[in-house]
A and B are shown apart, each in its own frame.
Chain A
Amino acid sequence: MILRTKLFGKTYEFPDLRILMGKANEEKSGDRLAGVAAASTAERAAAKMVLAAVPLWALRESPVASYEQDEVTRVIFDALNETTYAEIKNWTVGELREWLLANTTPPEEIRRVSNGLTAEMIAAVTKIMSNMDLILAASKIRVICHCANTIGLPGTLSSRLQPNDPTDSPEGVRASIYEGLSYGSGDSVIGINPVDDSYASVARLLDMTHEIIKTWEIPTQNCVLAHVTTQMRCLKNGSPVGLVFQSICGSQKGNESFGISVGMLDEAYELAKKYCVPAGPNYMYFETGQGSALSANAHHGWDQLTLEARNYGLAKRYAPFQVNTVVGFIGPEYLYDASQIQRAGLEDHFMGKLTGISMGVDACYTNHARIDQNGVENLAVLLTAAGCNYFMGIPMSDDTMLSYQSTSFHDTAALRQLFRLRPAPEFEAWMESLGLMHGGILTEKAGDPSFFLKR
């Protein structure tokens, strides 16, 4: 294998696709930590040029971990449509980029070709795209799913209501839910990250959120983001569950560090179809994020973007209602500052959509990263332009349980106004019926949690 180019008379040569893929990434602190980053900006540019000339078949033959070695690779390869793959296998990465961006390429064609792409191909094309490329290409792809309501329709933007409480206090959670609903948040899911992963505590929060949904006849789904095994126990014991959640990783070894396997997720999916409350057919919810495989030393020497693409290939197996990257949560040693977090957010969103899943983003940061709220607001605007399905809705963006900052109830309302978007149609009709929203805009009654004290 020869992978090299001349640049201003100097030769840049790369020993294999793993090294080439690492060096072709935009600057990320995590790639430096992993020792796969380009040594100079010129080397990065050279790597992108060489990668653009690589045919797609070569990437299929170079997965992060082999088919025999890794079940995530097996999931992705087994799902590949061989007819579609045969059509495109001789395209170069550069040709794939231009095909995605071409005005003559209809969105349905992208959805079809997506079934012939492996995660490594999706990662490769992402590396040679600019931020606006990522926004434009992603905006062409809509992935629409249904559970109790519909997510991803053109002209809509949904919001996960994330009413976390540092002690799992049901009354604290309830107060944040009322606040969020009053701003039109909660159409993607009312989803709580619990402090206490025990069955009793998780079951109690499921009951409480379900009761609010029933009392107010809200067309949405609930979820408590405990470990999947706890949720499976809840399902078997009759708890009211809307979506079944799990954090996933891009390699088998990484998933083992999360205490999960493909077999376990398969079982959870079957239980979800058997016991979840809403109509479906999409019942699963996954979270991902660049750097998680590296932090578990489960990255097989590859860069964090490629591992992230494999998350989406795994998620696709379960036709999830929604998937989001938690893009700034991991810390500055993986994504250092505003430009790295923004870039990764746009990359992840694009890759998820190109894989064919309903994609949202937790645009967020921890306090030791070099970014502030303005940086996250910028990212949310960019992602809305890219057609992101949903964001997190957190009281003033400050999660008092997870100690990080994300997007707020107000942010979703503002983004809907800015881009003339609506909530999920069922949810919008519900907001209208209560007089909280009119013509897609919040009314004078909105933004008042005490509105929900009357039932």
Chain B
Amino acid sequence: MDAKRLNEIVEAVVRELTAAGLSSGPAPAQTAVPAPAALPPAPAAAPSPALSALVVDLEDPTTPAARAHPGVQNPADADGLAALMEATPARIGYGCAGARYRTAPWLTFQADQAVTQDTLYRDVDENLLSSLGLFKVQTRVTGGKQEYLLRPDLGRQLNEEARQTIQQRCTRAPQVQVCVGDGLSAQAIESNLAQILPVIRQGCQTAGLSFGTPFFIQYCRVGVMNDIGDLLQPLVLMLLIGERPGLGRADSMSVYMGFRPQKGHTDAERDVICNVFNGGTNPLEAGAYAVQLAQKMIRFQAGGVKLKLAEG
């Protein structure tokens, strides 16, 4: 059957369906198989005037204002709908296309997820680390991000080279030791480190606490704090680490803190300041708070659950 004949048949069927109310689909000619002559022109040919005049230039759909835009057609109560959307960060009030999402909120959802995926599989910018004077060591993960995700046990241990480098370059037994780890988000470190690190350093100086030599750990899990504690014997160890990215939020960092961290310690011995980002716990405030917490740990000689009990 030639393409022209096929077109005619398809057009006839679509006409019938439309007449029967079963399809309000696009114009029949567009649904038909294109004849060879209708193939797109070769790339070298000049675009048509209509194509040249085409402009797709979109506003950012991820701004708070754009996200607040309702999508329900003919709502029962338009003001009420806006108020309901205002009451929750959940993705409500965007309406539907049949039983599916409307196009704009669906594509924004995909964009939100894309951000999390990109930060997970990317390394922290080396320039940032060197500008802040951090040297870099690695855990026992050797197989890249995939092995990092699959083997949390390896991310909790320093490799041999790291142990030597740390022993050579770091001051032993400081009152406060700061380490930085990529964790599950490179962007979290890039967004917050330049703000929080100077605050912690300055805060320690003001408080009269000796400040150890800070460094960066690639493929890092929180449990690596025990290895560092055994090597450097700090009173307080702070680990600044990228959190698991949330949908559309890749810049959230945590500060894990331990008092005399050592082999066998678990989260019960640690304190954590989480949700550190501009919009959550502000990194400047988080830095100041971390120093206060360090002072408290030293005063009570305890961290984690023990610190809470000691405080009474």
Contact = CB atoms under 8 A, between A and B. Distances in A.
Interface in B82-118: 84-85, 87-96, 98-101, 105-106, 109-110, 112-113, 116-117
Contacts of B9: none
A172 B245 CA distance: 22
Contact of A165 (B88, B94, B105, B112): B88
Given A367-B113, A400-B89, A414 B100 contact: yes
Interface stretch (B131-139, B144-152, B157-165): B144-152
Given A398-B247, A449-B92, A367 B117 contact: yes
Contacts of A66: none
Interface stretch (A9-17, A103-111, A118-126, A175-183): A175-183
Contacts of A398: 90-91, 109, 112, 247
Interface residues of B, number: 43
Contacts of B96: 183, 410, 413, 442, 446-447
Interface in B29-78: 72, 74-78
A395 B91 contact: yes
Interface string B181-218: 00010000000000000000000000000000000000
B88 A176 contact: yes
B144 to A, nearest CB: 13
Contacts of A450: 72, 75-78, 80-81, 84
B77 A176 contact: no
A62 interface: no
Given A165-B88, A367-B116, A396 B78 contact: no
Interface residues of A, number: 50
Contacts of A423: none
A163 B113 contact: no
B77 A396 contact: no
A174 B88 CA distance: 9
A29 interface: yes
B81 A449 contact: yes
Given A366-B244, A410-B101, A172 B87 contact: yes
Interface in B211-251: 244-247
B302 interface: no
A448 B99 contact: no
A178 B117 CA distance: 31
B180 interface: no
A90 interface: no
Nearest to B79: A450
B120 interface: yes
A171 interface: yes
A454 B244 contact: no
Interface string A363-400: 00011100011000000000000000000001111101
A157 to B, nearest CB: 12
Contacts of B78: 450
Interface in B264-285: none
A396 B140 CA distance: 39
Contacts of B72: 447-450
A279 interface: no
Contact of B247 (A165, A178, A367, A408): A367
Given A372-B113, A396-B109, A450-B72, A336 B149 contact: yes
A396 B92 CA distance: 7
Given A403-B246, A447-B72, A448-B75, A179 B92 contact: yes
Contact of B90 (A175, A405, A413, A444): A175
A395 B90 contact: yes
Contacts of B76: 445, 448, 450-451, 453-454
A333 B113 CA distance: 20
A169 interface: yes
Contacts of B98: 414, 417
A175 B92 contact: yes
B150 A417 contact: no
Looking at B81, B85, B88, B247, the one whose CB has the most chain A CB atoms below 10 A away is B88
Contact of A333 (B75, B89, B151): B151
A32 interface: yes
Nearest to A402: B246
Given A396-B101, A451-B76, A368 B92 contact: no
B137 to A, nearest CB: 22
A413 B110 CA distance: 20
Contacts of B87: 169, 171-172, 174-175
Nearest to B94: A396
A33 interface: yes
* Central interface residue in A179, A372, A397, A446, by most chain B CB within 10 Å: A179
A159 to B, nearest CB: 12
Contacts of B80: 450, 453
A231 B74 CA distance: 40
B92 A176 contact: yes
Contact of B84 (A165, A175, A332): A175
B89 A373 contact: no
A179 B88 CA distance: 11
> Most chain-B CB neighbours within 10 Å: which of A171, A373, A449?
A449
A450 B95 CA distance: 11
A400 B90 contact: yes
Given A396-B101, A451-B76, A333 B152 contact: yes
Given A175-B92, A367-B245, A395-B91, A410 B99 contact: yes
Nearest to B85: A175
Given A373-B113, A403-B247, A414-B99, A367 B120 contact: yes
Contacts of B105: 396
Nearest to A170: B87
Contact of B150 (A32, A171, A366, A395): A32
A403 B185 CA distance: 15
Interface string A21-37: 00000000100110000
A175 B149 contact: no
9 contacts: A172-B90, A174-B87, A178-B92, A179-B92, A368-B245, A373-B109, A446-B96, A450-B72, A450-B76
Given A175-B84, A448-B72, 13 more contacts: A165-B88, A169-B88, A171-B87, A171-B88, A396-B90, A396-B91, A414-B100, A442-B96, A445-B76, A448-B74, A449-B72, A449-B93, A453-B80
Interface of B: 72, 74-78, 80-81, 84-85, 87-96, 98-101, 105-106, 109-110, 112-113, 116-117, 120, 149-153, 184, 244-247
Interface of A: 29, 32-33, 163-166, 169, 171-176, 178-179, 183, 332-333, 336, 366-368, 372-373, 394-398, 400, 403, 405, 408, 410, 413-414, 416-417, 442, 444-451, 453-454
